[in-house]
């Protein structure tokens, strides 16, 4: 059902890393997908048709005499020399070092779909100017003396230059193709025929007007409408992104095989190392070398295939060519020019927005399976965590909790008193998640169904009736979430007076929103189904986005709901808070692999166990006391680090920087990091290399950064950067390193849930760099409301160690938030023994602080400074 979510726990560009870290676990328990249920490129008429085009034979030329330059953008017409169809090219120079390229038919017989709602605003533009022009080309300034965009006429081509260097070329291989909307030959009028006499006759090919896959026929009343465009990246050997696929971090060469496919599908037991489509589609690709990072954002929601070809360019310089092929819509691509990785993240976030700030509790541990049987089962599992001293924050209920798969309902026999169940969890400061899927049981006695039908909110079939398919409830209708009125109504159903049995500690799981249609083509919706005037083929990869869009409209009582449990969010809006199924959804891992999976999951952004209905129960205490102890320790490590995780999501929400990062993001000039996907960074200060091989006795971790220092977080042993470190491991090992020069705040008093730790004290881990300095931050708010935004109720502090003094200063003087938390302990790694330690505060008070020094580990421990976490203070080492 959602096994692929293990690959989706990163920022949009890097979800495959999460998968790779548990590949060895999967290899022992996974089964191969039934490939016959899903298309290859050869079986997709438009992909096969476009891929048959040969490089170097472009039929398009730019009519430079039609060029117009305004304050906001440039337009020029493109002529297809074969069929005489005119296209309109629009070029925009955007603020933040980005360029937007749009290509559409100049005069389509009907509008083509242009993706709405994804961009948070119309991107602000900057002026372009013509610096040179002749009959063959136009040279435009993109700001500064070195930035140029060259538009060549015959054949049409765009080059973005920095000085003499070509950064990116568009249509350099001549693979631009734009199938115009047209009338089918056997339905054309005499006038239509006369107008086309001068054009080269369009030859119909199989699959242009309808195609059949297995037993399903896809009718295409608009005929062929696919688009294609190639990009060349000189000097680039490494490209990443376009999730989600069960593959390594670096995109592989697709020459001779299938392209990567972006088409949201409910894939049962998917294969590893395969470019097949999975649950989500994010059309963003990054290129990287030691000099520059760039991004391509292909704004299209239709089925899309992406070819990647790496080799040498004409001057024997490494080059990667990328080709995008989409079934419908227009060409609308944002070229994000970096130049640093963090610049690309900022550029992308400026277009689509940033990660929603999740509740603190959502970053803790979640317990889930399909399904917990009844209220007694929920109570027993909840009690089991207490008996075995394992913290957790959320327990999840899958589809069986409902009355016959009718969402927003409860099975009255199994869950007769849902509020009593929820109150029992609330008394322990815990929460519940229930599933709400976007397929609605066709049942005249079910109010959700009757309301949607009466309001006309269902997706329609090609004949205009309500589209129906088979899913968990049996025969089901599918709400049209592209309709804002449907989204508004859907959001209202989550209100406490509408969702019977709900209360403040009940959260929602969005699932099955590819959309999943069990009896549909490729287990999804027919492409000729209708969302208002648009075919499903136009918006398919946005359906999950719109489901989530409808959910976040409703923010009950000002509580943050966005993001938690969103299983597939579709084309664009993939957040870092996406579940990895600890233990794997299907089959049964060995006890050893289950432990290793917990250890890996504890250091990934979303930490949830989940399992299929037919798997044996997997609660952490069912595998013997030794394994229970190992799982308990992994979960407890997660809880101690919640302040650090929360800080990373705070920054992600503000800046768009990913929470979980490949090493090359922070070390972009270190070639050794470019292909590493068995270790990762959390923020910039924690490096994790989980053990994922059964029977492993050791791993080799690369510690990046020439001149950097890294400290083992368990032993405090110091290691130099820019080396491969051999690490002996036992079953208790989770290799994690803190970067020298950082300060990380932990809460070491682990309780039954994160809410119970709200007022607990902090321990600061000050890891000194080679110059004896370090810095970090601490962020505190109430953990669940929006008062940090509306009322500036938060604490944000800078922690700095320099000149043998550790100080805390206010990064947001105009905010305020009362906290009972205090600094209980400070551990300084890589320290020397002082003669004395004193604490001074802003009121002029001064007191001595007790300390211990371990010469073997060079760790100085300061005991109970006792200062409140929200005030200014300084610790002086004399």
CA distance 260 to 279: 13
Taking 50 as the threshold, does the pLDDT of residue 386 lie above it? Answer: yes
Residue 188: predicted pLDDT: 66
Co-location of 299 and 420 in the same domain: no
The model's confidence at residue 726, banded by pLDDT at 50, 70 and 90, is very high
The CATH number assigned to the domain holding 567 equals 3.20.20.80
Q: In this structure, are 649 and 539 located in the same domain?
A: no
User: Residue 350: enclosing H or E segment and its boundaries?
Assistant: helix 341-352
Would 840 be classed as within a structural domain? yes
At residue 313, the pLDDT reads 65
On whether both 781 and 830 belong to a single domain, the answer is yes
Identify the pLDDT of residue 534.
98
> Which pLDDT does position 316 carry in this prediction?
80
3-state helix/strand/coil string of 67-117: EEECCCCEEEEEEECCCCCEEEEEEEEECCCEEEEEEEECCCCCCCCCCCC
CATH number of the domain where residue 821 is located: 2.60.40.1180
Same domain, 371 and 321: no
pLDDT by residue (tens digit) across 463-476? Answer: 999 999 999 999 99
Within a domain: 519? yes
What are the C-alpha distances in Å from 567 to residues 512, 598, 831? 8, 20, 45
pLDDT tens column, 676-725: 999 999 999 999 999 999 999 999 999 999 999 999 999 999 999 999 99
**pLDDT of 557 higher than 50:** no
The verdict on residue 87 lying in a domain is: yes
Same domain, 422 and 328: no
pLDDT surpassing 80 at residue 269: yes
DSSP-based three-state secondary structure for 249: coil
Per the structure, the complete domain to which residue 136 belongs is given by: 41-181+209-352
Q: Are residues 343 and 370 in the same domain?
A: no
Instruction: With beta carbons less than 8 A apart as the criterion, state whether 821 and 866 touch.
Output: no
Q: Is the dihedral of CA 108, 111, 112, 117 positive or negative?
A: positive
Asked whether residue 405 falls in the same domain as residue 477, the answer is yes
Q: Interior CA angle at 867 toward 603 and 814, to 5°?
A: 80
Residue 278 and residue 251 in one domain: yes
* pTM to 2 decimal places: 0.94
The domain that contains 240 carries what CATH number?
A: 2.60.40.1760
Q: Which of 309, 334, 352 is the last residue of a domain?
A: 352
Look at residue 295 and tell me if it is in a domain.
Answer: yes
Inside any domain, residue 771: yes
88 inside domain: yes
Are the CB atoms for 60 and 79 separated by under 8 Å?
A: yes
Give which of 818, 829, 828, 827 is closest to 869, Cα–Cα: 818
User: pLDDT class for 580, splitting at 50, 70, 90?
Assistant: confident
> In the listed set 332, 352, 372, which residue is the last one of a domain according to the structure?
352
How many other CB atoms are there within 10 angstroms of residue 587's CB atom?
17
**CA dist., res. 96 & res. 408, Å (int):** 44
Domain count, the chain: 3
Residues 729 and 860 both lie in one domain: yes
Strand-by-strand arrangement of the 474-477 sheet:
440-441, 474-477, 468-471
Given 558, 578, 598, the domain boundary residue is 578
Give the least confident one: 65-79, 371-385, 510-524, 553-567. 553-567
With respect to residue 4, please indicate whether it lies within any of the assigned structural domains. no
Mean pLDDT computed over 365-394: 98
The model's confidence at residue 185, banded by pLDDT at 50, 70 and 90, is confident
Residues 405 and 318 in one domain: no
- Contact between 330 and 101 under an 8 Å Cβ cutoff? The reply is no
Q: Are 143 and 53 contained in the same domain?
A: yes
Residue 193 lies in a domain: no
Overall average pLDDT of the 795-824 stretch: 97
Is residue 531's pLDDT more than 70? yes
Whether 303 and 400 share a structural domain: no
């Amino acid at each position: 059902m959602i096994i692929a979510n293990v690959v989706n726990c990163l920022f949009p560009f890097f979800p495959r890393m999460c998968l790779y870290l548990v590949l060895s676990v999967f290899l022992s328990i996974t089964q191969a997908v039934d490939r016959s249920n899903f298309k290859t490129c050869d079986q997709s008429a438009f992909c096969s048709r476009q891929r048959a085009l040969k490089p170097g034979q472009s039929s398009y030329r730019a009519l430079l005499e039609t060029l117009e330059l305004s304050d906001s953008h440039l337009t020029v017409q493109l002529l297809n020399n074969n069929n005489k169809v005119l296209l309109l090219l629009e070029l925009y120079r955007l603020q933040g070092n980005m360029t937007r390229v749009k290509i559409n038919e100049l005069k389509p017989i009907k509008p083509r779909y242009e993706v709405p709602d994804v961009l948070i605003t119309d991107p602000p533009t900057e002026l372009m100017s013509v610096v040179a022009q002749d009959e063959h080309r136009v040279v435009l300034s993109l700001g500064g003396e070195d930035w140029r965009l060259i538009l060549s006429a015959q054949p049409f081509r765009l080059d973005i230059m920095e000085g003499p260097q070509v950064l990116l070329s568009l249509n350099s291989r001549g693979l631009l193709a734009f199938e115009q909307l047209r009338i089918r030959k056997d339905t054309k009028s005499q006038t239509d025929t006369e107008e086309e006499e001068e054009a080269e006759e369009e030859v119909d090919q199989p699959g242009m007007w309808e195609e059949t896959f297995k037993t399903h026929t896809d009718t295409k009343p608009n005929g062929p409408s696919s688009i294609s465009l190639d990009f060349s990246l000189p000097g680039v050997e490494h490209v990443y992104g376009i999730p989600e696929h069960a593959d390594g971090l670096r995109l592989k060469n697709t020459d001779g095989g299938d392209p990567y496919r972006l088409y949201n599908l409910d894939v049962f037991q998917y294969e590893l190392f395969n470019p097949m489509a999975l649950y989500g589609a994010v059309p963003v690709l990054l290129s990287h070398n030691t000099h520059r990072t760039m991004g391509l954002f292909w704004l299209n929601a239709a089925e899309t295939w992406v070819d990647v070809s790496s080799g040498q360019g004409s001057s024997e310089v490494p080059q990667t060519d990328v080709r995008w092929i989409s079934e419908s819509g227009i060409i609308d691509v944002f070229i994000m020019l970096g130049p640093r990785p963090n610049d690309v993240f900022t550029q992308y976030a400026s277009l689509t927005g940033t990660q929603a700030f999740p509740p603190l509790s959502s970053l803790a541990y979640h317990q889930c399976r399909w399904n917990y049987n009844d209220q007694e089962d929920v109570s027993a599992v909840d009690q089991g965590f207490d008996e075995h001293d394992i913290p957790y924050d959320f327990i999840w209920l899958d589809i069986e909790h409902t009355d016959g798969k009718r969402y927003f309902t409860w099975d009255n026999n199994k869950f007769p008193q849902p509020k009593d169940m929820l109150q029992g969890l609330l008394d322990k400061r815990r929460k519940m998640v229930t599933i709400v899927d976007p397929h609605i049981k066709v049942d005249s006695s079910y109010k959700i169904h009757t309301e949607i039908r009466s309001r006309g909110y269902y997706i329609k079939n090609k004949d205009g009736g309500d589209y129906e398919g088979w899913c968990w409830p049996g025969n089901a209708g599918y709400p049209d979430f592209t309709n804002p009125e449907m989204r508004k109504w859907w959001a209202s159903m989550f209100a406490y007076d509408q969702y019977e049995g709900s209360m403040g500690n009940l959260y929602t799981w969005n699932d099955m929103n590819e959309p999943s249609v069990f009896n549909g083509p490729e287990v999804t919706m027919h492409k000729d189904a209708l969302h208002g005037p648009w075919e499903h083929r136009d918006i398919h990869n946005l359906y999950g986005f719109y489901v989530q869009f409808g959910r976040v409209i409703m923010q009950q009582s000002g509580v943050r709901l966005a993001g938690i449990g969103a299983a597939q969010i579709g084309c664009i809006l993939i957040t870092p808070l996406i579940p990895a199924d600890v233990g794997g959804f299907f089959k049964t891992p060995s006890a050893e692999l289950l432990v290793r999976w917990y250890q890996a999951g504890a250091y990934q952004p979303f930490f949830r166990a989940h399992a299929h209905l037919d798997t044996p129960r997997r609660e952490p205490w069912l595998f013997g006391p030794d394994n229970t102890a190992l799982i308990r320790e992994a979960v407890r490590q997660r809880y101690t680090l919640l302040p650090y995780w929360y800080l990373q999501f705070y920054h992600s929400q503000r800046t768009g920087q990913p929470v979980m990062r490949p090493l090359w993001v922070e070390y972009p000039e270190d070639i050794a990091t470019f292909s590493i996907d068995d270790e990762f960074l959390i923020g910039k200060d924690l490096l994790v290399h989980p053990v994922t091989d059964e029977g492993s006795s050791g791993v080799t971790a690369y510690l990046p950064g020439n001149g950097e220092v890294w400290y083992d977080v368990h032993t405090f042993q110091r290691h130099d950067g820019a080396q491969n470190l051999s690490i002996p491991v036992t079953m208790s090992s989770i290799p994690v390193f803190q970067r020298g020069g950082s300060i990380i705040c932990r809460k070491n008093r682990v309780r039954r849930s994160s809410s119970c730790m709200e007022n607990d004290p902090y321990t600061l881990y000050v890891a000194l760099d080679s110059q004896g300095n370090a810095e970090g931050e601490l962020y505190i708010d109430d953990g669940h409301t929006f008062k940090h935004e509306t009322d500036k109720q938060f604490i944000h502090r800078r922690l700095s160690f320099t000149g043998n003094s550790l100080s805390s200063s206010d990064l947001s003087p105009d905010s305020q938030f009362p906290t009972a938390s205090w600094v209980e302990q400070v551990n300084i790694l890589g320290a020397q023994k002082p003669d004395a330690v004193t604490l001074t505060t802003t009121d002029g008070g001064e007191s001595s602080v007790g300390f211990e020094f371990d010469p073997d580990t060079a760790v100085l421990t300061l005991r109970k400074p006792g200062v409140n976490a929200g005030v200014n203070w300084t610790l002086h080492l004399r």
